[in-house]
Amino acid sequence: PLDEDEPATWTEACNSPYADNWREGYEEELASIRKHEVYELVPRSSVPKGRKVIQNKPCFKLKRDQDNNPARFKVRLVA
């Protein structure tokens, strides 16, 4: 079963009671991506005709401790 506290979209995450926690998890993911040089950001205007820009979206996972309290708000960007 899905955790009702795990948002399906970024909008849901921003409107949830844990919005600040999800935003912090998202920032951690972006920092990790930058640190590991996973991508190269290019202006859309430089993308050749006929080529597609890879879209991505955040996926959310709420990790809980042994007492079922929220422990970590994990966000991953997936293409």
Over residues 8-29, the mean pLDDT reads 96
According to DSSP H, which parts of the chain are helical?
A: 10-14, 19-35
Angle at 58 between CA 28 and CA 49, to 5 degrees: 110
Query: What is the model's pLDDT at position 1?
Result: 47
pTM exceeding the 0.85 threshold for the entire prediction: no
Q: Any idea of the CA torsion for 45, 56, 38, 6, to the nearest 10 degrees?
A: 150
Query: What is the model's pLDDT at position 2?
Result: 62
Tell me the pLDDT band of 36, cut-offs 50, 70 and 90: very high
- Residue-range domain boundaries for the chain: 10-39+52-78
Query: What is the model's pLDDT at position 69?
Result: 92
Please give the mean pLDDT across all residues of the chain: 92
Over residues 17-44, the mean pLDDT reads 93
Query: For the chain, where are the E strands, in sequence order?
Result: 57-64, 70-78
Q: Any idea of the CA torsion for 40, 9, 73, 25, to the nearest 10 degrees?
A: 30
Asked whether the predicted pLDDT for residue 50 surpasses 90, the reply is: yes
